[in-house]
Amino acid sequence: DQQVKQNSPSLSVQEGRISILNCDYTNSMFDYFLWYKKYPAEGPTFLISISSIKDKNEDGRFTVFLNKSAKHLSLHIVPSQPGDSAVYFCAASGYGGATNKLIFGTGTLLAVQP
Amino acid sequence: DAGITQSPRHKVTETGTPVTLRCHQTENHRYMYWYRQDPGHGLRLIHYSYGVKDTDKGEVSDGYSVSRSKTEDFLLTLESATSSQTSVYFCAISESTDLYANTGELFFGEGSRLTVL
């Protein structure tokens, strides 16, 4: 049972345009959501997060939006750059105690075309 | 740089053999994790540790055991490797020191690619 879902395995965007990556979750007990970025042959790196008490968090070109009623979050990258090409994982935490256990989605491969 | 080293980085082994992956951290953090990454499944938590000799199971713990005898080392053992355990294994640490400061931000190692023939 996938508690965190990324239904788009891949996304292709032109350089300079907006990239929108989507994530859905099923467990209403999640109270923190994160996005990680992963390049080939490297470990995932933290990108941006949002607490469930907020609906938006912005960091430079990256903005995460949270819609709790729809159990949906999205990552916006504006403007997209070729260096943003990577796999993006959505993750959620906060259930089952306070041990920083993250549940990850399956990932979306973003390709930014020059 | 979170100071995480995984070894070995690549390993090929045969079904039925034992395998141990090592995660070493230089930052003295309390929380350490082992994840595996597989196509179509993303990253799944195998085991985690919240202190020396304190470990617990994650989502996909069957066939795996862990040990943490020192703060800096977290070992993942496959007692008898199977082909379904072919995967990329990632160790991660959390800088959290407060049990209830649950931001979920983890720092990952570079991964260990294991192939079981």
Q: β-pairing, A108-113 with A10-14?
A: parallel
| Residues in chain A within 8 Å Cβ distance of B90 | 43-44
- At residue A102, the pLDDT reads 85
Answer yes or no: do B42 and A106 touch at CB < 8 A: yes
Per DSSP, chain A holds a count of helices (H) and strands (E) of 0, 11
3-state helix, strand and coil shares in percent for chain A, rounded to the nearest 5: 5, 55, 45
Q: Which of A43, A100, A106 sits opposite B104 (nearest CB)?
A: A100
| Pairwise CA distance, residues B10 & A38, whole Å | 18
pLDDT band (50, 70, 90) for residue A101? confident
Question: Helix, strand or coil for residue B3?
Answer: coil
Query: A95 pLDDT exceeds 80?
Result: no
Question: Helix, strand or coil for residue A84?
Answer: helix
**pLDDT tens for each residue of chain B, 117 residues long:** 568 999 999 999 999 999 999 999 998 888 899 999 998 899 999 999 988 999 999 889 999 999 999 999 999 999 999 999 999 999 999 877 665 555 668 899 999 999 999
Identity of the amino acid at A100: N
Question: Helix, strand or coil for residue B49?
Answer: strand
Q: In angstroms, what separates the C-alpha of B93 from chain A's closest C-alpha?
A: 10
Report how far apart, in Å, the C-alpha atoms of A82 and of each of A2, A6, A86, A109, B26 are.
30, 22, 9, 13, 33
Answer yes or no: do B42 and A43 touch at CB < 8 A: no
Whether the upstream peptide bond of residue A44 has omega within 30° of 0, thus cis, is no
| Residues in chain A within 8 Å Cβ distance of B112 | none
- At residue B30, the pLDDT reads 87
Environment class of B57 (CB within 10 Å of its CB; exposed 0-12, middle 13-18, buried 19+): middle
Determine the residue of chain A that is closest to B4 in CA distance.
A43
Residues of B with CB under 8 A from a CB of A: 4, 31, 33, 35, 40-45, 48, 50, 56, 58-59, 90, 92, 94, 96, 99-111
Residue B68 φ then ψ, to 5°: -140, 90
Q: In angstroms, what separates the C-alpha of B29 from chain A's closest C-alpha?
A: 13
Q: β-pairing, B10-13 with B112-116?
A: parallel
Answer yes or no: do A31 and B111 touch at CB < 8 A: no
Determine the residue of chain A that is closest to B57 in CA distance.
A101
| Pairwise CA distance, residues A92 & B110, whole Å | 21
Q: Which of A32, A105, A106 sits opposite B103 (nearest CB)?
A: A32
Query: A63 pLDDT exceeds 60?
Result: yes
| Pairwise CA distance, residues B27 & B73, whole Å | 11
Residue B85 φ then ψ, to 5°: -95, 5
Residue B90 φ then ψ, to 5°: -120, 135
- At residue B12, the pLDDT reads 97
